[in-house]
Amino acid sequence: VFDKEAGLGISRDDLLTKLAETLSPKRFAHVQQVADAAKQLAVHWGYAAVEKAELAGLLHDYAKEASDDVFISLIHKYKLDPDLLDWHNNVWHGVVGIYKIQEDFGITDPELLRAIEIHTVGSSQMGLLDKILYVADYIEAGRRFEGVEAARALAYEDLDAAVAYETVHTVSFLAHQQVRIYPQTILTYNAYVDKLR
């Protein structure tokens, strides 16, 4: 059914095998837990293509363990914004990672690719699948951090508020780490922060 909903040319079993080969055990467990959370949020929020949500969860961190050279090559190959060269894996694995996912799986579904593209940084205008994946990544069953219970509760009460909550915490975390914040993350913050009120 994956292939019907998202143009994926392989079965679910073959996809899981490929992910298990590509990802560390810890990250393989994470993507399966994100897929479960995304499935549950899809049902709860009436997103009809539940299996696409699940697939988004399974694939979202596919590129996370690729080397920097892989991302730099993809930025050149697809003539992406050269400013991306100033960033790093945390930003690349989604924004650039979708090109590796297209190459390795032949996925073409724009909604699926978009959700994976922005799963780390969000966007000022997020569709339902975008929000589901963004939030599922944050609240999956294996996540342990201060505030995760509040994030989980919000995810089922008010999805926009859950996007806002996560973004506020991410921006705050990054500022405390004294690291650069990707401009699109700030745009997400500005677009969603009022949803908490």
The site for ligand GDP (CB under 6 A) is made up of 61, 64, 90-91, 94, 119-121, 137, 170, 173-174, 179-182, 185
Residue 39 touches which of Fe ion, ligand GDP, none (Cβ within 5-8 Å per kind) = none
Least separation in angstroms between CB 89 and ligand GDP: 8
Dihedral over Cα of 25, 22, 36, 145: its sign: positive
Contacts of 82 (CB under 8 A, 6+ apart): 75
The residue among 182 and 192 lying less far from ligand GDP, judged by its C-beta, is 182
Which of 168, 138, 141 has its CA nearest to residue 151?
138
Cβ of residue 19: shortest distance to Fe ion, in angstroms? 12
Cβ-closest position to Fe ion:
137
- Assess contact for 181 and 153: CB atoms under 8 A: no
Nearer to Fe ion, 20 or 48 (CB): 20
150's contact among Fe ion, ligand GDP, none, with CB below 5 to 8 A by partner kind, is none
Residues engaged in binding Fe ion (CB under 5 A): 61, 137
**What is the number of residues in the chain?**
197
Q: Are 181 and 90 in contact (CB under 8 A)?
A: no
